[in-house]
A and B are shown apart, each in its own frame.
Chain A
Amino acid sequence: DTGVSQNPRHKITKRGQNVTFRCDPISEHNRLYWYRQTLGQGPEFLTYFQNEAQLEKSRLLSDRFSAERPKGSFSTLEIQRTEQGDSAMYLCASSSYRGTNEKLFFGSGTQLSVL
């Protein structure tokens, strides 16, 4: 169990550029979540997958955001035409869904700064 891995750890980009983050979940975990966290706030839910199916998307996930989880393994989160308001920590979590006993395991996040 190597934990949830997120890359890159830090990303600095200019406004209007596209960025892509990658999340590698714990092996064989069937659920994968994306959250966003700004300074002083708790994580905000963005979307989640069960295997390769995207089951729910938050209203926070505008048309500029897209997430994929091909083959139900790693996941990518892409932000197109970044804006300064997109600056945040993007967190990924995975779980082996077991109903009421589901425990989420989080990665250390990708810190995005949009200049």
Chain B
Amino acid sequence: DAKTTQPNSMESNEEEPVHLPCNHSTISGTDYIHWYRQLPSQGPEYVIHGLTSNVNNRMASLAIAEDRKSSTLILHRATLRDAAVYYCILRDLVTQGGSEKLVFGKGMKLTVNP
């Protein structure tokens, strides 16, 4: 599985935008970029995913570099409830019916200061 690299941790202030980086220099053309987050004492939660174009949803935005070797998850206005471990995951869904599991790394811990 292609790997991703994230900082171990980041801090942000409440009500300010937060940019969470992810490097994936060995990404293949069929790898989708997925983001999940895990709040304390809970299972992971889907945030967003994309292939080439930038994506927006109610939770966040995903900005994907033109060469796809990196991406950035953007929380437009951080709240205390956004404090979590964020996982950037590559997922190859070309081989339908084959191995399609999500492979999590250690993720990045986001601290939001009031």
Alpha-carbon gap, A88 to B63, bound state (A): 34
Given A33-B101, A56-B101, CB of A107 within 8 Å of CB of B43: yes
Count, chain B residues at interface, CB 8 A: 24
Within 8 A of A (CB), among B79-114: 85, 87, 93, 96-97, 99-107
B101 contacts A40, C-beta separation under 8 Å: no
Which one of A41, A42, A44, A92 has the highest number of Cβ atoms from chain B below 10 Å of its Cβ? A42
Q: How far is the CB of A2 from chain B (nearest CB, A)?
A: 14
Main secondary structure of the interface of B (DSSP, over half): loop
Q: Chain A contacts of B49 at CB under 8 A?
A: 103
Q: Are A45 and B45 in contact (CB under 8 A)?
A: no
Contact between chains at A103 and B96 (CB < 8 Å): no
Docked complex: B14-51 residues within 8 A CB-CB of A: 32, 36, 41-46, 49, 51
What is the interface residue range for chain A against chain B? 20 to 34
A106 pairs with B93, CB closer than 8 A: no
Cβ-based interface call for A26 (8 A): no
Q: How far is the CA of A45 from the CA of B101 in the complex (A)?
A: 7
Total contacts A-B at CB 8 Å: 51
Taking Cβ atoms with an 8 Å cutoff, the residues of B that contact A are: 32, 36, 41-46, 49, 51, 85, 87, 93, 96-97, 99-107
Which residues from A are CB-within-8-Å of B96?
A: 99
Most chain-A Cβ atoms within 10 A of its Cβ — which of B32, B99, B101? B101
CB-CB contacts below 8 Å: A69-107 with B: 91-93, 99-100, 102-107
6 contacts across the A-B interface (CB closer than 8 A): A42-B104, A43-B104, A93-B43, A93-B44, A104-B44, A106-B44
**What is the distance, in angstroms, from B16's C-beta to the closest C-beta of chain A?**
26
CB-nearest residue of chain A to B103: A45
Q: Is A30's beta carbon under 8 Å from chain B? A: no
Is the CB–CB distance between B43 and A106 below 8 Å?
yes
